[in-house]
Amino acid sequence: MGTIVRIEGMSCAHCAARVEKALNAVPGIRAKVDLSGRTAELEVDGEIDFDAVEKAVASAGYKAVR
C-alpha cells in the first residue's frame, strides 16, 4: 500500500483522469486516483515530495490535502 492523499474538487471521471495524469508526470511517482473516495494512492520511489504532489494536483485544477 502506498501513500493516500485526499484530492478536493474532483466531481467526474475526467477530473480523476486529469489528476492521475498530472501525478504520474512527477518523476518517481506512480498514482492511481479513486474518484468515489476522492483520493489518490501514490507509490513513490524514495521519499515523497509533497510540494511536488501539491503542485502537480494544482496544475490540474484541484487541491491535494495532507
Q: Provide the residue range defining the domain that includes 35.
A: 3-65
- pLDDT higher than threshold 80 for residue 34: yes
Q: Look over the chain and give the mean of its residue pLDDT values, rounded to a whole number.
A: 96
The reported pLDDT for the residue numbered 39 is 98
Q: What angle do CA 40, 11, 20 make, to 5 degrees?
A: 30
The reported pLDDT for the residue numbered 66 is 86
The reported pLDDT for the residue numbered 12 is 97
- Residue 11, judged by CB atoms within 10 A of its CB (0-12, 13-18, 19+), counts as exposed
The reported pLDDT for the residue numbered 51 is 97
The count of domains in the chain is 1
Query: The CATH number of the domain where 22 resides is what?
Result: 3.30.70.100
